[in-house]
């Protein structure tokens, strides 16, 4: 059977990137590697829509999230955490681990945080040092209005820190134009690489905050994630510690793909696939969990009669389709189908077709071909 990886991280890796990963390990303090760092940094700036340096950290995405918090808020400082699911909760948990006082702005799973709720929270807490947000809430498939958030934080002294881990390279996010202060992402989603690299970029005013924190009485308590080290080394196309340089070499090829396509086209491609995946929901007799869905994944709610854990096993064992289920309180209740990065429409269609065949085995009747054809129509109309 041919395995098809359709989970919202990790995602599949293109062939040329895989071939690069198979090449011999090289030394990283070399002019060749510095040239690669220079090239990938320029391409990352293009993807982030920023002229600021984009720092590459050897860590999973959470490493960059931790770096963002550790370097921008002092112990006892205040964070407004916009929470629409598990990943928004991760920001809150990191803040707590660093002794940051958290103000939660929370919506039920499936909903997005309205910018007005941020405006109200900032009004009540004008002393907030940061606001954390999640572009694509991968736990529920909801999209958050980063542009709307940034319009509010821009007029305040709070920095807007965005988890773009399943959003960047999928949906429009213009760091400089929108005035987002910190954007983080990871390698294993839209960037089409294996897990292992995290990326972070900071606005000029965020850097001012970082530098003043290190000079002040409440110096950030971090060594590996001291972002000044990454910035200062990057000025000479170097890294402070041994980077996962094999992954960085592979990154060069994935970014080249995105460059060749063009970032706007990349956003359009994801939007079109997302519409086609959502169009399957009705004929499958499933609802979408997200009210305002993100474009990198589609989250279908399962009826209570369907065993949401067992169905994942059948999809994988009998059809080779690996999708993700829910986490925590959503476990067994949803199916998360990814369509980001190196996943094309025909793989999404394969998953839709497999769902048509598998759902009836779980007592949920579906008319064969109806979801597939609805999806195809949506895809064609989106051309």
Cβ atoms of 279 and 293 closer than 8 Å? no
Q: What is the DSSP letter of 327?
A: -
Task: Please report which helix (H) or strand (E) contains residue 319, including its range.
Answer: helix 310-319
Burial level of 6, CB count in 10 A (0-12/13-18/19+)? buried
Question: Pick from 138, 82, 81: which is nearest to 110 by CA?
Answer: 138
Sole window of 74-82, 160-168, 230-238, 327-335 interacting with ligand PLP (rule: CB under 6 A) = 160-168
Does 325 interact with ligand PLP (rule: CB under 6 A)?
Answer: no
Of 56, 72, 132, 166, the one binding ligand PLP by CB under 6 A: 166
Does 60 interact with ligand PLP (rule: CB under 6 A)?
Answer: yes
Report the site for ligand PLP in 136-155 (rule: CB under 6 A).
Answer: 136, 138
# binding residues, ligand PLP (CB under 6 A):
13
Extract the tokens encoding 283: 């004929």
Distance in Å, CB of 1 to ligand PLP, minimum: 26
Does 186 interact with ligand PLP (rule: CB under 6 A)?
Answer: yes
Of 17, 37, 54, 61, the one binding ligand PLP by CB under 6 A: 61
If the CB atoms of residues 44 and 374 are measured against ligand PLP, the closer one turns out to be: 44
Report the site for ligand PLP in 66-105 (rule: CB under 6 A).
Answer: 87
If the CB atoms of residues 179 and 186 are measured against ligand PLP, the closer one turns out to be: 186
Residues counted in the chain: 383
Strand order in the sheet with 334-338: 287-288, 297-301, 334-338
- In degrees and rounded to multiples of 5, residue 186 shows phi and psi of -125, 170
Cβ atoms of 56 and 248 closer than 8 Å? yes
Distance in Å, CB of 63 to ligand PLP, minimum: 7
If the CB atoms of residues 70 and 358 are measured against ligand PLP, the closer one turns out to be: 70
Q: Residues interacting with ligand PLP, by CB under 6 A? A: 9, 60-62, 87, 134, 136, 138, 163, 165-166, 186, 195
């Amino acid at each position: 059977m041919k395995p098809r990886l359709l989970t919202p991280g990790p995602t599949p890796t293109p062939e040329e990137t895989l071939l690069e990963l198979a090449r011999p390990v090289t030394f990283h303090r070399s002019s060749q590697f510095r040239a690669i760092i220079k090239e990938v940094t320029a391409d990352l700036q293009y993807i982030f829509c920023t002229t600021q340096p984009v720092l590459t950290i050897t860590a999973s995405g959470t490493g960059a999230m931790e770096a963002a918090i550790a370097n921008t808020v002092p112990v006892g400082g205040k964070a407004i955490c916009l929470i629409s699911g598990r990943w928004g909760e991760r920001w809150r948990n990191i803040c707590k681990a660093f002794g940051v006082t958290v103000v939660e702005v929370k919506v039920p799973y499936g909903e997005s945080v309205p910018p007005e709720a941020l405006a109200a929270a900032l009004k009540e807490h004008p002393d907030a040092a940061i606001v954390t947000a999640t572009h694509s809430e991968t736990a529920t498939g909801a999209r958050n209005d980063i542009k709307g958030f940034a319009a509010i934080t821009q007029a305040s002294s709070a920095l807007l820190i965005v988890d773009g881990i399943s959003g960047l390279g999928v949906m429009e996010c213009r760091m400089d134009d929108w005035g987002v202060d910190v954007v983080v992402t990871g390698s294993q989603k839209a960037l089409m690489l294996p897990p292992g690299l995290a990326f972070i970029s900071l606005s000029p005013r965020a850097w001012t905050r970082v530098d003043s924190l290190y000079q002040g009485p409440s110096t950030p308590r971090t060594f590996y994630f001291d972002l000044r080290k990454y910035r200062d080394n990057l000025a000479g196309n170097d890294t402070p510690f041994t980077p996962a340089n094999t992954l960085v070499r592979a990154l060069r090829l994935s970014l080249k793909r995105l460059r060749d396509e063009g970032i706007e086209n990349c956003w359009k491609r994801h939007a079109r696939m997302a519409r086609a995946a959502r169009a399957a929901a009705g004929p499958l007799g499933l609802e979408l969990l997200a009210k305002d869905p993100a474009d990198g994944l589609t989250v279908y709610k399962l009826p209570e009669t369907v065993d949401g854990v067992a169905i994942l096993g059948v999809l994988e064992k009998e059809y080779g389709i690996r999708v993700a289920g829910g986490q925590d309180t959503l476990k067994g209740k949803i199916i998360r189908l990814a369509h980001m990065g190196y996943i094309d429409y025909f793989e999404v269609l394969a998953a839709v077709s497999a769902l048509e065949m598998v759902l009836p085995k779980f007592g949920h009747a579906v008319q064969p071909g109806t979801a597939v054809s609805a999806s195809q129509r949506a895809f064609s109309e989106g051309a």
